Amino acid sequence: MKKKIKIIIFLIFLMIILFQIYFGWYTLIFYIKYGELPPTIKKSNRCSIITCMNLENCLNKNPLYYIYDEDETYFEIEKKIYKLQQSNTYKTILKEFKNNNITTINVTEACFFINLYDMSLCEYNKCNPNEKFSNYLRKRLKYWNEGKNHLLFDISDNDFTTYEREKAIIIKSGFSRVFYEQFFDISIPLLSKINFNNSNIKNISERGILFGFKGKYRKEKKEDKIRLKLYKFFHNRNDSIVIIHTDKNYNKYDYKKLLENIIFSLIPRGFGLHSYRLVESMAAGTIPIIISDNFVLPFEEIINWNEFSIRVMESQINKIPLIIQKYSKKDLNLMQIKSLQIYNMYFISWKSIIKYVIEILKKRLVFV
């Protein structure tokens, strides 16, 4: 009897390990909590441009985009009436597509199709996507065709998608490696909320603080445990400032001034895997230390993040002082210059972000 129990325990343990290897721990936790795989995993097609797109209208020099034009702004779910509203961010995104003179009102000549509403239906950090709303948005698209050639924008906190993507391309902030289809989906950044004057950016030798972090810690949010660990490890260091809002000295430090005077900026995950802090740190001329396992970095397909940032596993944050010792002053100066170049080229506005979304999609089609 004891032997059978041991065999059963071993088999369960083996199943957990195999599950983790294929899907990752995050998906295992999701399954335990909800009793099912996340929708993206359930419906994933392991897509590529060749397998999940109709290329008939896509091999022109400048592929055209069709933006849905709908009069209906109200819809009913379970006998309740809801109103569709575009977030201000998504209004800007659609405007930039139109400004690039690549849109068409002729469906028969379009390569890509863009929903009139983003899948989150709200500003980043304001809500999480509602699965019923999102799936309703998807199903009402007239030319859906299993999602082929459709671009679904998702500016939400979730690192997974709550809706059924089928064969659509997801363009998303805070993408998790678990749900990201490489060379098919696109990970995008969040814009900085703070403006920095490029002419006043201090170089590395002018900065008196080695590394820093100022941010909120929410005890009820398991994602914030990393922030608490950073605080416990480093808040007593003389060469750095690491502080969370529960500290009595929290208001003593100005976030913008801190970014302007630190060499390395600690960037743990925020509400989702992403954080405004990443692009803000680059805009301020700091060197980002990214602490967010499974986070797909924005535009990683065309940007070499190793040239100007440092990636640290969440389990290795106590080793940060040792890691940064390996970099010479020359290395740091070059990394700062590169970080500012990348920010100004790719992340300074939605205009530049959409420009490179279009470039990435065009580049993929060239190699078909």
Average pLDDT (306-329) is 95
Contact between residue 137 and residue 117 where contact means Cβ atoms under 8 Å apart = yes
Band (pLDDT 50/70/90 cuts) for residue 166 is confident
Taking residues 81-104, report their average pLDDT.
87
Residue 180 sits in which domain range?
38-189+352-366
Q: What is the arithmetic mean of pLDDT over 9-36?
A: 57
pTM: 0.83
- pLDDT value at position 9? 72
Other beta carbons less than 10 A from residue 265's beta carbon: 24
Report CA torsion sign: 214, 219, 221, 222.
Answer: positive
Average pLDDT, the chain: 84
Asked whether residue 42 carries a pLDDT value surpassing 80, the answer given is no
> Which of 116-120, 157-161, 173-177, 215-219 comes out lowest in average pLDDT?
157-161
pLDDT band (50, 70, 90) for residue 138: low
pLDDT of residue 5: 72
Mean pLDDT for 194-201 is: 86
| Confidence grade of residue 88 (pLDDT, cut at 50, 70, 90) | confident
Output the CA–CA distances (angstroms, integers) from residue 47 to 135, 150, 158, 159, 175, in the order listed. Answer: 20, 13, 21, 19, 16
Whether residues 159 and 228 fall in one domain: no
Give me the pLDDT at residue 26, please. 47
329 found inside a domain: yes
43 and 178 co-located in one domain = yes
How deeply is 267 buried, as exposed, middle or buried, from its count of CB atoms within 10 A (0-12, 13-18, 19+)?
buried
Question: Residues 243, 168: one domain?
Answer: no
When pLDDT is averaged across residues 221-229 and rounded to a whole number, the result is 81
Residues 105 and 64 in one domain: yes
- The tally of domains found in the chain comes to 2
What is residue 16's predicted lDDT score, i.e. its pLDDT? 64
Q: Is residue 28 part of a domain?
A: no
Query: Distance between CA atoms of 326 and 170, rounded to whole angstroms?
Result: 37
Statement to judge: residues 329 and 260 lie in one domain: yes
Same domain, 164 and 220: no
178 φ, ψ to 5°? -65, -35
Model confidence at 214, pLDDT cuts 50, 70, 90, reads very high
Length of the chain counted residue by residue: 368
**Residue 267: predicted pLDDT:** 95
Question: What percentage of the chain carries pLDDT values higher than 70?
Answer: 79
Tokens of residue 320, six digits: 């940060």
- Residue at 3 is within a domain: no
Q: Is residue 203 situated within a structural domain? A: yes
By C-alpha distance, which of 288, 259, 242, 278 is closest to 200?
259
Mean pLDDT (whole number) for 197-206: 90
Same domain? 316 vs 242: yes
| Least confident among 19-23, 268-272, 321-325 | 19-23
Q: Given this model, what pLDDT does residue 116 score?
A: 85
Examine the domain organization and report whether 267 and 289 are in the same domain. yes
Does residue 235 fall inside a structural domain?
Answer: yes
Over residues 6-22, mean pLDDT: 65
Mean pLDDT over residues 43-70, rounded? 85
Mean pLDDT of 201-207: 95
Q: What is the pLDDT of residues 257-298, one digit of tens each?
A: 999 999 999 999 877 888 889 999 999 999 999 999 889 999
- The CA-based angle 226-266-270, given to 5 degrees, is 50
User: What pLDDT was estimated at residue 207?
Assistant: 96
Is residue 11 situated within a structural domain? no
Q: Is residue 27 part of a domain?
A: no
Higher pLDDT: 262 or 15? It is 262
285 and 322 fall within a common domain: yes
Residues 6 or more apart whose CB falls under 8 angstroms from that of 93 comprise: 118, 153, 350, 354
Lowest mean pLDDT among 21-30, 97-106, 129-138, 275-284: 21-30
Under the banding of pLDDT at 50, 70 and 90, the label for residue 2 is low
Q: What is the mean pLDDT of residues 177-198?
A: 89
In terms of domains, do 72 and 170 share one?
Answer: yes
What CATH number is given to the structural domain containing 293?
3.40.50.2000
Share of the chain above pLDDT 90, in %: 53
Is the pLDDT confidence value at 206 over 70?
yes
Q: Looking at the structure, do residues 180 and 215 belong to the same domain, yes or no?
A: no
Integer Cα distance of 163 and 8 in angstroms: 35
Contact 209, 286 (CB under 8 A): no
Query: Which of residues 6 and 336 earns the better pLDDT score?
Result: 336
Q: What pLDDT score was predicted for residue 21?
A: 52
Q: Are residues 211 and 172 in the same domain?
A: no
pLDDT at 46: 77
In a domain, 113, yes or no: yes
Q: Is the pLDDT of residue 201 over 90?
A: yes
